[in-house]
Structure 1
Amino acid sequence: MTSPENNHPTHLGLSIFNLLCCCPLGFAAIIYSCQVKNANAVGDSNQAAKASRTAKMLNIVGIVFGVIVIIAIVVFLVIRTKL
């Protein structure tokens, strides 16, 4: 059994949300989230921490990119309808 300090967050829920709603970058985040789960299971704290940070960063970048794309589409549609 792993100790609490070895259990790093997987960010799996955020990765799935990112994949479905924002950006295909969520697919890579899901892969890293699964790596966190596996590393936590075997007690590899360093690998779990590294994969957790990567999954979190991919999710943040994916959500920011998705929001920027949505804003750009809305602006484009608003400008297009005014012409």
Structure 2
Amino acid sequence: MYTSRKNEPTYLAWSIFNTFCCCLPLGVAAIIYSCRISKAISLGDAGRAQESSRTAKNLNIASLVFGLIGLIMLIVMLVIQNSRM
């Protein structure tokens, strides 16, 4: 029975954004999984496309969270440093 969607979202643009702006290692992994989605769809492997799409989404979420945490830590450190002057 064919229950998977035919065109899974690739999240490629989000992956590229996360690579350059948030967390490089997780962003690169997300790009790799985003490319796997297109390949799986072209081969007709809906299950693998769905799994890769889910993985790319999770990697992008993790990358964004790590990037935001890093940004918040940087801002806090700058505020503390400037308050000592």
Q: Identify the TM-score tier after normalising by the shorter chain.
A: over 0.9
The residue identity in structure 2 corresponding to 1:27 is V
- 1:7 equivalent to 2:7? Answer yes
- 1:47 equivalent to 2:38? Answer no
Shift of 1:6: 1.1
Q: How many residues align?
A: 79
Q: SS of 1:6's equivalent?
A: coil
Paired residue for 1:35?
36
The residue identity in structure 1 corresponding to 2:45 is D
Unaligned runs of 5+ in 1: none
Taking structure 2 as the reference length, what is the TM-score of the superposition?
Answer: 0.91
Runs of 4+ more than 3 Å apart? none
Paired residue for 1:23?
23
- Per residue, is there more helix in 1 or in 2? 1
Shift of 1:40: 0.8
Aligned-CA RMSD value: 0.5
Rounded Cα–Cα distance in structure 1 between residues aligned with 2:51 and 2:27: 17
- 1:72 equivalent to 2:76? Answer no
Q: SS of 1:10's equivalent?
A: coil
